[in-house]
Structure 1
């Protein structure tokens, strides 16, 4: 009966702050730190990839607008086009 009481208190008393707690193996800690550092590198790599994708898209747009895009000249409008009026029509009544 005495062994059962010990066994129950031994499992219940081994909390994080208990001095009788068995120490962790270095392999477990090494594996834990390896997974944590790999997670950090994955996050950093994803942030860099996102930054590069956005920057490349912006660079392509700059090249297009600087070298290829020609804005429409409003002075060369044909007579079939309606004028761009910003005034509102007068109200009747």
Structure 2
């Protein structure tokens, strides 16, 4: 049983390292090819698109979450972690 578990962990570790190295090498090749590429306009479009997605989705989502957390501050069933531990008798 221990040999099976050890083999599983070892194979996972080797697979993780191989995948990580492949990802790092692919990123390295991509960043090295940027000066020699002729598709700089496409790269600019991607960066602008990602920036717009950030502005249109993530920032309003953050504001909605902030508003909801302030609005529901007095929720009657809200208990702290300390109160939960005291109720269980483990504090």
Tell me whether the two structures share a fold, i.e. TM-score over 0.5: no
Greater relative contact order, per chain length (Cα 8 Å cut-off, separation 6+): 2
TM-score of the superposition, structure 1-length normalised? 0.38
TM-score of the superposition, structure 2-length normalised? 0.39
* Structure having the higher Rg: 1
Report the structure, 1 or 2, having the larger helix content: 2
